[in-house]
Structures are given as C-alpha cells and as structure tokens.
Amino acid sequence: METVAVIGAGGVGRTLAESLRGGGLEVTVGVRAPSGAGETTIAEAIASAGVVVIAVPGAAVEDLATAHGEALAGRVVLDASNDLSGGHGGAMHHMGAWARHAPGAAVFRAFNTMGAENVAAPRLAGRAADLLYCGPEDARERAEAVIRATGLRPVWVGGPEEADLLDGVTRLWFTLAFARGRGRRLAFRVLEEPA
C-alpha cells in the first residue's frame, strides 16, 4: 500500500495517523512547523504520499487547498474536516474549494461524521461502525483501503455532490451526541438484507 500523509497533528490528525499505522499503513504527518518525531512539512508529506488525509480545522481548508492544490494532482484526498465557521446551518465541507484549487485530485469527504474516539476504537456494541463517505466512484477502491485500515466499514453514499448529505449526517451525530446527551461514543451502522 502507498504512503498516506495525514495533514494536521491536532486530536483528529493524531488519532487518524495512529489508527492508520495500526492498520498496517505507512503514515507521514505534515504540519506547518514540524517539531516532533514523525512530522514533516505539509509539502514534503504530500510529495511522499499517494493518499492525503486532511485533518486541519475546517476554516483552514481553503488556504490549504490554495497553497497545495497543484501538488495534490493525481492523489486521493480524504477531507476529514468540518467547518463550523458559518454556523451549524452553513456548509461544513469545502468541495467547491477543492474543485477550484485541486482539480487534479480525487477528493472525498470521509471521517467527518463521527468523533475521533470512534476512529480510535471503531467497534461499538461488538460491531464495527460504518463510515459514510462520498467522492468520485473511480477512486473508491483507494479511499476504501484507507478507511478499512482504521477498522471502520466504508459505506459510499455517492459522488462529491453528496457532500451536503454528509453534512446532514454530521449534524445528526452532533445532535444525538450532545443535544440529546447520548455521548461521543456513538456511530452509525447501515443494516441491509443480502441481495
């Protein structure tokens, strides 16, 4: 499997990097100012990887896409960020920014519909949680290999145009976890009869 770059070393970035390493993937972590072991610059991390996971604050995604969009050509990008700067009613995704600044990348929305602790421990009630995600169908195999490495079960909901739908799933998670007091150890599972 190719190297995966995780961009961002906050709570979500660290959790994703550790989970992906635990799943047998080679991971490099890209940050603006590397200071720890295993960290490198964002540009170096992108250059070394075929798959790039974006785990920066949502409000920083547009600037990241502007600065590094050309370098992402030919790569699979999994954007795990949720931008709440527009309030809970606005778009949490940046699919438009990715289309403008990184048109050569295959961009997915993934890891944004649950808390990071569920990526770290993806089994709830004895079963692996599902990760609902969207992005281009022709690059799904590469995206799903990364998702599976965390122990989550990938469930594709459609192409990039379904990013608003995933924002709705994220809002449902926030509502159940916080407003309804169910707590952060909450995830979704799609149940279906075999065809």
pLDDT digits (tens, 9 = 90+) for 104-131: 999 999 999 999 999 999 999 999 999 9
pLDDT at 195: 82
Is 171's pLDDT higher than 70? Answer: yes
Tokens in use for 131? 């990760």
Is 140's pLDDT higher than 90? Answer: yes
- pLDDT mean over 135-146: 98
- Would you give the end-to-end CA distance of the chain in angstroms? 31
Is 2's pLDDT higher than 80? Answer: no
The pTM (predicted TM-score) of the whole model is 0.97
The contacts of residue 153 (CB under 8 Å, 6+ apart) are 128, 129, 130, 131, 147
pLDDT at 89: 80
Tokens in use for 149? 């490495």
Percent of the chain with pLDDT over 90: 93
Q: How many CB atoms lie within 10 A of CB 102?
A: 22
- In angstroms and rounded to an integer, the radius of gyration of the C-alpha atoms of the chain is 16
Is 95's pLDDT higher than 80? Answer: yes
Q: How far apart are CA 145 and CA 101, in angstroms?
A: 25
- CA-to-CA dists, residue 51 to 73, 74, 110, 129, 176, angstroms: 11, 9, 13, 22, 31
Q: How far apart are CA 151 and CA 113, in angstroms?
A: 15
pLDDT at 182: 97
pLDDT at 12: 97
Is 54's pLDDT higher than 70? Answer: yes
H/E run at residue 149:
helix 140-149
Is 97's pLDDT higher than 70? Answer: yes
Packing angle, helices 11-22 and 140-149, rounded to 10: 90
Is 1's pLDDT higher than 70? Answer: no
